[in-house]
Amino acid sequence: MKNIAVISQGCAANFGEGEKAARLLAASENAHITFGLPKDAPDAIYLNVCTVKGNAGALKLLRSASEMYPEVPLFIMGCAPKDFREEALKVTDKVVFTSLEEIPALAGMTTGAKTATLRESPYVGIVNIEEGCLDACAFCSTHLVKGRLKSFAPEAIEQQVRELVADGCLEIQLTGQDCACYGFDTGTNLAELTQRILAHVPGNYKLRLGMGNPRHMMQYADALLECFRDERVYKFVHVPVQSGSDRVLKAMNRRHTAEDFRQIARMFNTEFPRFTLSTDIIVGFPGETDDDFAETMRLLKETRPTVCNITRFVARPGTPAARMEQDAALRIPDSVKHERSAILFDAFQKIAQENNALWIGDTCDVVVEKPGHRAGTTIARNEAYRPVALAGDIPAGTRLSVRITDAEAFAIIGEVL
């Protein structure tokens, strides 16, 4: 039997594709799968890379794998655009670029119990509901790799969720490049898919809905809101706004407005006062002025997200934004990018800490997720998908009742009852 290592990085969608690759390899190669770099040399290593924020992280992973096991065949899949491939070949010429479609026996595979259970966590099931998107954001290279939207059949998704719940999953993550446009190519949408799963898959589990762009979510917002009334749906939504300036959003080719994001934030925050709103913001996009940045600050303070992924703009080769960056009149100096990201981060931290402090004194049910970053601690998740830090080493998958005693910007602190 072959031993194959599969290592994923990046978003939940990428991890979901990594797990799918592992299942296909296990079936087609009769292989034993290890997630992560193993102690002993495997027969092959599949690196499922992410280059959304640049190539550095993926190249670091490639170097580690090639230096640790120089004689082991390396396969790269995931978000691997042309410029990354060129850089990867400079690290090692032994690498082979591949994809899910090229893994042997893909065309004949069905989702059966034997293959559906192979995943990184026994308690978290990642279900890719679509790939690609309906946008062409100026800064993004992912759509150059993933292409246009392709939604997977709702009955197949429902069956996969059913199998994962039957196999002990306590959390199901519905994921993709842009979950908000799921079904737009087949006559359905994310709200209808979610309601279908809730209606047809019984069990004591929770759904986490994946990232979705505002302009698509606006088209069925009321129906989506109704889904969150079910206690099996985490009160969490990831809606990337990227900027609070409509002028910058237009330059980014985002096709939504800051007001669209305000409406979504207002809708969820009004209906569920301690809802977890997550967003993404890019600072230093070519042409961003001080006034544009001030608009982003204002939007942050008005909408008050509890999770905010702040990124300093990095040009991705082959994108319109990379061409903008070549214009000296539009290029933002690195010093300005650093200053703006620091100001935004400080403001966000204050908001996140205040949001988390609203939980102090409450009792809530949680599910243990993983060991904490601090020795002797454990991270669990509550109904709003907030990370709850607990003392002690508690096994993943454990259900607990806890009292919230304190709050930080990136976690709430609890004690087990």
Assign residue 380 the CATH number of its domain.
Answer: 2.40.50.140
Whole-number percent of the chain with pLDDT over 90? 80
Domain carrying residue 265 = 111-357
Last residue of a domain, one of 90, 106, 122: 106
- The yes-or-no verdict on residue 263 having pLDDT over 50 is yes
Q: Residue for token digits 């967003």? A: 279
Encode pLDDT of 109-144 as tens digits: 443 334 557 899 999 999 999 999 999 999 998 888
* pLDDT confidence tier of residue 223, bands split at 50, 70 and 90: very high
- The yes-or-no verdict on residue 363 having pLDDT over 50 is yes
pLDDT score recorded for residue 104: 61
pLDDT score recorded for residue 112: 39
For residue 297, what are the CA distances in angstroms to 290, 294, 340, 342? 10, 5, 10, 12
Residue that wins the pLDDT comparison between 152 and 37: 152
Last residue of a domain, one of 106, 128, 155: 106
- The yes-or-no verdict on residue 158 having pLDDT over 60 is yes
Work out the average pLDDT over 336-345: 98
Give yes or no: residues 345 and 231 share one domain: yes
CATH of the domain at 126: 3.80.30.20
pLDDT score recorded for residue 199: 97
pLDDT score recorded for residue 180: 97
Encode pLDDT of 73-108 as tens digits: 999 998 888 889 999 999 998 899 988 888 764 334
Least confident of 51-55, 98-102, 106-110, 208-212: 106-110
Last residue of a domain, one of 106, 122, 141: 106
Give yes or no: residues 188 and 63 share one domain: no
Work out the average pLDDT over 354-376: 95
Give yes or no: residues 283 and 410 share one domain: no
Ordered alpha helix ranges (H), 92-189: 113-116, 142-146, 154-166
Give yes or no: residues 181 and 57 share one domain: no
CATH of the domain at 40: 3.40.50.720
Residues found in the chain: 417
Give yes or no: residues 209 and 329 share one domain: yes
Residue type, 62: L
Q: What is the β-pairing status of strands 387-391 and 412-416? A: parallel
Name the token pair of 271.
């209906």
Give yes or no: residues 218 and 90 share one domain: no
Work out the average pLDDT over 345-374: 96
Residue that wins the pLDDT comparison between 146 and 346: 346
Sign of CA dihedral 139, 284, 341, 237: negative
- The yes-or-no verdict on residue 204 having pLDDT over 70 is yes
pLDDT score recorded for residue 146: 85
Work out the average pLDDT over 210-231: 96
Half-sphere exposure of 370 (CA within 13 A, CB side): 8
Could you tell me the pTM of the whole model?
0.90
Give yes or no: residues 180 and 273 share one domain: yes
pLDDT score recorded for residue 116: 53
Q: How many CB atoms lie within 10 A of CB 217?
A: 25
Give yes or no: residues 171 and 236 share one domain: yes
Work out the average pLDDT over 23-47: 88
Give yes or no: residues 204 and 281 share one domain: yes
Least confident of 10-24, 229-243, 305-319, 391-405: 10-24
Give yes or no: residues 135 and 48 share one domain: no
pLDDT score recorded for residue 114: 46
Instruction: Count the domains in the chain.
Output: 3
Helices 190-200 & 154-166, crossing angle to 10 degrees?
40
pLDDT score recorded for residue 83: 87
Give yes or no: residues 314 and 390 share one domain: no
Give yes or no: residues 322 and 387 share one domain: no
